[in-house]
Structure formats: C-alpha cells, structure tokens
Structure 1
Amino acid sequence: MGAWYFPGGSVSSSFVSSVLRDGIAILWIDHPPVNAIGADVRAALAEALAGIEHDRALRGVVVAGTGRMFSGGGDLREVGRPDASGTVRMADLARRIETFPKPVVAAVRGKCIGGGTLLSLACHARVGADDALLMLPELNLGLVPGAGGTQRLPRLVGLEAALDMVTRARGVDAAAALAQGLLDEVADDPVAAAVRRASDIASGRLPWRRTAELAVPDGAQADALRARYLDVAEQAFPGREAGPQAVDLILAAAALPFERGCEAERERFAQLAAGPQARALLHLFFAERALAKAADAPDAATRARIARRLRAVGEPVPPYAAWTQAARACLAEGLAPRAEFIDVIAVKDCGFPALSGGPLHHAGPH
C-alpha cells in the first residue's frame, strides 16, 4: 500500500492524504475521478485509522473527498469476486469506524453514492454541504445495500424514509437528509463544521452516536409498511429479486439485533451478486460505459442499422434464439467490434429485457 503515518504528522498514500487541524485528522479520499472506495482506498483508510488511534495528540477524525464529490461509490468490479488475502472489506471498515475510540465525522460535498453513503452511515456524525446528495442505488444493479447499510439506515432515519430511499434508488438532497436525520448539519464549509463537531464529541459537548446502537424510531410500523413498499419496489424495478429482499432486510432492522441483521444482509447480497439478474445488469453497466468511451464504437448510423436488424426478428420473447442469431450476424459482419456493444444496443434501443443482459450475454457463456 505504501501509506505512512507518524504521530503528530500526516498520513499519505496514493489514495488517502491528510492534514491536521485543531487536533483532528482530516482524511481525504483522493481517488479521481469519483473517489471510488475500492480495495486500495479501504486499505489506506484502515491504515490511517490504525496510526491515529494511538496518537494522543489527535482527538478525532474527519473523512472527506477531494474534488467535487465525497464518493461515487464502491468498485463494482469487486462484486461477486472472492476477496484477495488481506482485503479490507467495506463491512469491516464500516465496523472499524463505528467502534473507533475517537469520533469520526463524515464531511459530504457533492455526490455520496453507494459505498460512500455506507461509509458515512458508520460515522458518528455527518455534515453536508448545500450540494450534498446521498444515494443507495444498488437496486439499479439487482443488488441490496451491503456493509450493514440496510441495518444502519433505518436506525438513523426510520423505516419509512429508509424504504423510500432504497426501493426508489433515489438521491436525498441536503435539506431532506437534514430533516430525516441522515445529516446532522448542513454547512457552507462542511469540513470545518465536521472538525468542530468531532471536537465537540471528543470533549463531551455533543453525545456519541454509534449508529448500530440506535433504536429504529418507527419500528412499530413495520407490518404496515411492508405491502406498500413491496409495491413501490415492483413499480420502480419490475421483476427484480433485489426489491423484496431489500424491503425485508430494512424491516428486519426493527426486529433483529444489529449483527443478526447484518448476517442476513451478507447472505442476501452474496446470493444476489452470484445470481443471473445482477450479473446481467452489471454486464450492461460496464458495457454501456465502454460503448460511450470506445474509439471503435459504432457511429450513430451503424448503431441504427444494428437496431433495425435486431428489431426485424420480432418481439424479444424467450428463448431469444432469433435475437441471438441476428446479434451474432451483426458481430460477424463487423458492425460492432465487441459483443457487449450489441447487447447494449439491443437493450437500450430495441427493448430487449435488461434482466437478461442482452441477447449475446443471455446466450452465454458468462
């Protein structure tokens, strides 16, 4: 990793840097362009915390993101893959932050998506800028929030607000987050405000709030909310297995101890990540971004030609054999250089079911 820390000094790596202010270590996630919290960033944060923990000159920690956003999320390339030896998992980092003996405050500017939000939920407080936008969009990819997110979020904002945020995969702006309790403060300079808040917690002027120890404020409403949000999830993401799973996990926060809820979350996440829906949606996620950036991507006229060839076989109906044959013909003729490009065109331009990942992904192997 190459991170280093010295008491009273600073921490630095390729992914995290710090400055010290008023006895508070400000850890900057520095991983352009979106501060993705992948394995290297998690390891750097864990190493920084290890050094800070035993430095008596430091009374607390602020975690912030460089550039225009806190974090665009975790590294989706890790989903469904076994962890390498020594990997710091997001769940372990979140628990490390939550149980840290010095206050840790998140300073959120701009977008805070997926893994960024999961990390912030584990902090002892959260301060946002006016442009802060927090989001848990995992249902878009056929997944549920992990790293304890389904258990921490309802403890902070209540079941109904947590269900609404997750089942719609909709961002929560600074004003709404403050009203719900997802943010503790909104400030023009969230880092300076987070430093003050960390100092106030350390000195006892503000109380410690470890999210896992909080009670779910509207837990008695669980039964009444279930049917409504199962319907919301189905309308927002028709046919996706992750919707009902997310609803049940969030409601479980009102009935189960934190660790048992996290165990259930880990099991559901692993099952979904290995399942065909998440694999198909992740395939399309990466393929669409590659298509947008590739120098050899089909131009508009060629893309339209591919779409016409695919539509000519009729409506996409399982087992999709005719669509697969037409897609393979387009690939063989060189209309697109990669199979995944044709999958994106089939889904985005022709209405092929996204949950099947496109005709060539569906035909496998994958």
Structure 2
Amino acid sequence: MSEPESFSLVGLEVVDGVAIISLQNPPVNALHPDVLNGLFKTLERCNADPDVAAFVITGSSDIFSAGMDINLLRQPGLDVASGRPAAVANLRLQLEEAAKPSVAAVTGSCLGGGLELALACTARVAAHDARLGLPEVRLGLCPGLGGTQRLPRLVGLQPALRLILSGAAIGAAEAATLGLVDEVAVAGGALVASASRLARELAAAPDHPLRGRGSLLERDDRLPPPAEAEELFAAARDKTARQWVNLRSTLLCLDAVQYGVAHGGRAGEDKEGECFGSALALDSHRALLRAFFAHRAALKARGPRRVRLWVQSLWARLAALLALLLEWWRLGARNTGLRVKEL
C-alpha cells in the first residue's frame, strides 16, 4: 500500500493497482473549478501510470459530492458557463472513454454535478444511506455536466425525466432498482472496499458486462423507439404546461433531453450547454438563488441578527414567487394554458 498523496483538494492513494481518488472539499465536496482541475490532473496522471489498473472515485467526510459550488453563481462578472466545455470534455476523456475502468463509491449526498461525475464512471457502488439526484431545476437551472444525456441512457427515458424534471433525490435501493447504481454496500470502509473489488474485476475482465456497456453517450439500448419517446416528451410537456413552478427551466431540461434522444448524446451535450447558459440568464433563477442564500444565512444566524435575516429570507422567497409567476404569465400559461410544443 502506498502512502496517501494530496493534490490540494483531491487525495490519491494507490492500493493493489487501484487508484483511490477522494474529493476533499468539505463540508459537501462541492465541485469548485479547483476541485475539478485537481481531479482531472490526478486522473490524467493515473491514466498514464502503468501501476494503476483502475480508479475508484469517492468523497471525504461520508459525502460524495453535493454538486457544483453554487457560491460561484453569485460572484459578479464570473461566467460560470465558460468552464463547462473543458469539464465536459475531461469527463469523457479521463473517465468515460479511458482505457482503465472507474467506479464511483457513492456515500451521503450525490447530487447535481456529483451525480454527473458518477455517471461518467464505468460503474457505481452506493452506500445504503446514499441520496442521488439532479436538483438543478429547483434553483431554476438545468444539469450542465452531461446529466441530461447520460441518465436517460442508463435508466431509461421515463425514469430519467421524472428525476430531472422534479429535482427529487432517491435512495440507494431505488437507484439500484432503476440501474443507476450497480451495487449497494455498507457505508464507510466497506464501501471503498466493495468499489475497489469491483474495479479490480473490471480491470481483469475487459469483456465484463459492465465494461461492455461502453460510453453512455453512445448507448441507445435503454431509450424507447422514436414514436414512444415522442409520446413521453409530449406527456411531459403537457404536464409542464399545467405547472407554474420553475416552468422555463423545466422546459430547458426537456429541450436538452429531447434533442439528445433525437440527435445523439454528443450533440445533446452541446444542446445541454446552450440550455444551461439560457437558464443562468433567467430572472426566475436569480430570484431563486437569492432566496436560497437568504434562507441559508437565516438558518446560520444567532441572536438579534437572526430575526432580521429571517425577515429578509421571507421577502426573498416572496420575490422568487413573484418572479416565477411572472415567468409563467409571460409564457402564456394564464387561463388558456401554454402551447409548449411550439417553444
């Protein structure tokens, strides 16, 4: 066993030919650009190391990753979307299309970009207490690291639409039933041990069924026939037309998924990038983001300041509600309903 190595926010330890790579950005291992850069450099090094046969990616402090560092979204002048193309390309090159297999050892929260990172791995082993989901729509966004393309190809279109459009998280047992994870293990050391065992099995057997699945972006065996897919999309748009919460971001998510199903995963990734950028510019997204941070500040406050912050949080939530209603009204949903298919 080698001594653990630390590359800033990413840890590395090679055990019996398996590189155990851990995200180390407490408290929730948010995917700050520095974390992603450290991860990709570590993967590049391990891909070139003949003593490494496979990877296990996990998170420190019993959390895989809660996703993108949303503090970046409120930094003035920062173009969050500008770093997306490089991150998406590295996920493909260093993980999904790498010659060496990879296993995500998922514990605690595996949300948003964290789940998208896990989806780029060859396989996923989840702790029994893990929670997995793509909650971006709840902040008026859509997934931005390939989630709209890989998830439907892994679990099927209908379950993927349910998860993406609701933003809900599911437990490990349901994730295993859907095929989102390949094994469920006990949290802690047993999880990494199970993931390492599977990684060695994959490295030793190039014809292993899990390796034979290939790149998720290239798969279509879990996608329904075109006519059935169109029916599912029509039903999803019809349901969306009857809601007013996060209406525009939900439609952008649908656009990305539908384009990828029609034109392939690679083209769908590009469309997802367009939709992600469009969502960042939405008034409703900015209002929801302000409400989120105001609520978080109120929860952390103590003493007299707590009352003032709770009042600010209430006003921020009311402003977000107004922004969502205005968005709904502008899209023509009042009284007559929204002609979604024409958007």
Contact (CA 8 Å) 1:28, 1:65: kept in 2 or not? yes
Q: CA deviation at 1:171?
A: 0.8
Is the aligned partner of 1:212 residue 2:238?
A: no
CA contact (8 A) 1:162 1:250 kept: no
Shift of residue 31, structure 1, vs aligned partner: 1.1
Deviation at 1:89, TM superposition (A): 4.6
CA distance 1:355–1:262, shift in 2 (3 Å)? farther
SS of the residue corresponding to residue 141 of structure 2 reads coil
What percent of counterpart residues are identical? 36
What is the TM-score when the length of structure 1 is the normalising length?
A: 0.77
Asked whether 1:75 is paired with 2:69, we answer: yes
Q: CA deviation at 1:299?
A: 4.3
Q: Which runs of structure 2 are paired with 1:266-281 in the superposition (5 Å)?
A: 266-281=273-288
Q: Secondary structure at the match of 1:271?
A: helix
Q: Distance in 2 between matches of 1:297 and 1:163?
A: 44
Q: Contact 2:140–2:246 at 8 Å: present in 1 too?
A: no
Q: What is the CA-CA distance between 1:25 and the residue it aligns to?
A: 0.5
Q: CA RMSD in A?
A: 2.6
Residue of structure 1 in register with 2:327 after alignment:
none
Residue 315 of structure 2 aligns with an amino acid whose one-letter code is: A
Distance change in 2, residues 1:23/1:35 (3 Å): same
Between the aligned partners of 1:85 and 1:253, the Cα distance in structure 2 is 21
**1:345 aligns with one of 314, 328, 331:** 314
Q: Quick one: which of 249, 252, 263 aligns to 1:256?
A: 263
Match of 1:222 in 2: 229
Unaligned runs of 5+ in 2: 325-343
Aligned to 1:332: none
CA distance in 2, matches of 1:265, 1:299: 39
| Cα distance change, pair 279–296 in 1 and its aligned pair in 2 (3 A) | farther
Partner of 2:199: 198
C-alpha displacement of 1:113: 0.8
- Counterpart code for 2:321: A
When the two structures are aligned, how many residues end up with a matched partner? 311
Aligned pairs for 1:234-313 within 5 A: 238=245, 240-295=247-302, 298-300=305-307
Structure label with greater radius of gyration: 1
CA-CA distance at 1:291 after TM superposition: 2.5
> Does the CA-based 8 Å contact 2:32-2:68 persist in structure 1?
yes
Report the Cα offset of residue 253 of structure 1. Answer: 2.8
Amino acid of the structure 2 residue aligned with 1:206? H
Going from structure 1 to structure 2, the CA distance change for 1:156 and 1:291 (only over 3 Å counts) comes to same
CA separation in 2, counterparts of 1:69 and 1:46? 19
CA contact (8 A) 2:288 2:320 kept: no
- 5 Å-filtered alignment, 1:24-173, equals 24-79=18-73, 81-82=78-79, 89-95=86-92, 96-173=94-171
Contact 2:134–2:168 (Cα < 8 Å) also in 1: yes
How far has the Cα of 1:271 moved from its partner? 1.2
Unaligned runs of 5+ in 1: 1-7, 301-335, 358-366
- Whether the aligned pair in 1 keeps the contact of 2:153 and 2:223 (CA below 8 Å) is no
**Distance apart, 1:345 and its partner CA:** 1.6
Paired residue secondary structure (1:254): helix
Tell me, yes or no, if the aligned pair for 1:291 and 1:297 is still in contact at 8 Å. no
CA deviation after TM superposition for structure 1 residue 293, in Å: 2.1
CA distance in 2, matches of 1:40, 1:296: 35
Runs of 4+ in 1 over 6 A off after TM superposition: 84-88
Answer yes or no: is 1:19 the counterpart of 2:13. Answer: yes
Structure with greater helix percent? 2
Aligned residues of 2:287 and 2:319 also touching (Cα < 8 A)? no
Q: How big is the shift at 1:91?
A: 1.8
Deviation for aligned residue 1:9:
6.3
